[in-house]
Structure 1
Amino acid sequence: MIYGYVRVSTKEQNLDRQLKQLNDSGCDKIFREKISGATTERPELQNMLSVLQPGDRIIVSDLTRISRSSKDLFELIEVIKEKGAALKSLKDIWLDMTEDNPYSTFLLTVMAGVNQLERDITRMRQKEGIAIAKDKGRYVGRTKKYHDKHAGMNHAIELYQAGRHTIKEISEITNVSKSALYRKLATLKDKQSI
């Protein structure tokens, strides 16, 4: 099967240009969506991915219709590959997985490397920023979920001290995770509070 996917961001926008391109490309079925591309939680995109079979092809007028970032694109390509299907962009002619195209594979590999480099640089800058903030005494770190005044954790400790419930029951009653409760109890035992 040859599937097409068309998308515009708002209800006021028109799908006609994309539909003509995909009909001219011989699509058997076209999935249509009028929704923001900022997320992959697009119902028609998910429907199309769910019906893919080995050997199927997806055609889009251009990559901005199916993805909004390189990370999003790589994740979609992995899903499509796992299903044994292929993706082709009419505008972005370098991306044609429907044939054994070494240039598409090469460019995807390079783009994946650039994407990983961007993530690594972001992490490196974040670490540098934290180090500078620590040196200046301005870094406070992530706020603890179960701080000393957390009502659920305090109630969990009270229940534990009463001795009438198991850790599992306490966790269900207070909505405090078992692992967090165990950690807190260990800390309190070290302080000999229990």
Structure 2
Amino acid sequence: MMKIGYVRVSSVDQNPGRQFQQLNEIGMDIIFEEKLSGATQDRPELQKMLESLQQGDIIFVTDLTRITRSTRDLFELVDHIKRKNANLKSLKDTWLDLSEENPYSQFLMTVMGGVNQLERDLIRMRQREGIDLAKKEGKYRGRVKKYHDKHAGINYAIKLYREGKMTVKQICEITNVSRSALYRKLSEVNN
């Protein structure tokens, strides 16, 4: 039986230190770490952890939002863990108990999974409302374009393209501008 930790932050800028500290306080044999959005389907460390899972192992997370994206994702994850005769424990969500001894575990998982999904949806809604308000007040302009009019790389790429002495592939390699960005900018300039 191993105590396995799973740590995830949404971006490389975020610090997973708090999660590591909480998991190490209860003593982990191994910790898998990911720095990417939970919304993405491709979570290689999670997959690696699930593949290495053995009977009797316990996966620990600081809270369920670190390991699941949605209620459906939670159920699929729990089914996989149960098939391996392993367990999942959350430090924050202490109600979670996958053992057969708890007749309420499936009911509680359904309710709490729904609560977690509601929480994510409310955050998304508040974020959207904040952006809409900022737009009305003229404070929000959206994401800054990577290849703006004064971007040296894109301007040099356009210059090289117009000279006609190089292939698009060569231009993109030299200027470090993607092919699609170059074509998009060329169509903007020519219109």
TM above 0.5, one fold? yes
Name which one, 1 or 2, has greater alpha-carbon Rg.
Answer: 1
Give distance in 1, aligned partners of 2:179 and 2:100: 52
Give distance in 2, aligned partners of 1:88 and 1:132: 41
Q: 1:178 corresponds to which letter in structure 2?
A: R
> What secondary structure, in the 3-state scheme, does the structure 1 residue paired with 2:57 have?
strand
What value does the CA root-mean-square deviation take over the aligned residues? 3.9
Give distance in 2, aligned partners of 1:104 and 1:168: 57
Percent of paired sites with the same residue: 48
Total equivalences in the alignment: 162
Give distance in 2, aligned partners of 1:132 and 1:48: 42
Per-residue deviation, 1:159: 1.5
Give TM-score scaled by structure 1 length.
Answer: 0.63
Per-residue deviation, 1:48: 5.2
> What secondary structure, in the 3-state scheme, does the structure 2 residue paired with 1:161 have?
helix
Q: 1:87 corresponds to which letter in structure 2?
A: N
The aligned residue for residue 41 of structure 2 is none
The answer to whether structure 1 residue 9 and structure 2 residue 21 are counterparts is yes
Give distance in 2, aligned partners of 1:111 and 1:181: 47
The aligned residue for residue 183 of structure 1 is 184
Give distance in 1, aligned partners of 2:103 and 2:183: 54
Q: Which runs of 5+ in 1 are unaligned?
A: 20-29, 34-38, 61-65
Q: 1:40 corresponds to which letter in structure 2?
A: E
The aligned residue for residue 87 of structure 1 is 87
Give distance in 2, aligned partners of 1:50 and 1:158: 51
Q: Which runs of 5+ in 2 are unaligned?
A: 6-18, 36-44
Distance 1:142 1:52, change over 3 A: same
Matches within 5 A, 1:123-162: 123-162=124-163
Per-residue deviation, 1:171: 1.9
The answer on whether the counterparts of 1:4 and 1:58 sit within 8 Å (CA) in structure 2 is yes
The answer on whether the counterparts of 2:168 and 2:179 sit within 8 Å (CA) in structure 1 is yes
One of 10, 28, 31 as aligned partner of 2:29: 31
Distance 1:154 1:58, change over 3 A: same
Give distance in 1, aligned partners of 2:167 and 2:80: 44
Give TM-score scaled by structure 2 length.
Answer: 0.64
> What secondary structure, in the 3-state scheme, does the structure 2 residue paired with 1:74 have?
coil
The answer to whether structure 1 residue 163 and structure 2 residue 175 are counterparts is no
Distance 1:49 1:189, change over 3 A: same
One of 55, 61, 68 as aligned partner of 1:67: 61
Distance 1:100 1:172, change over 3 A: farther
Distance 1:94 1:182, change over 3 A: same
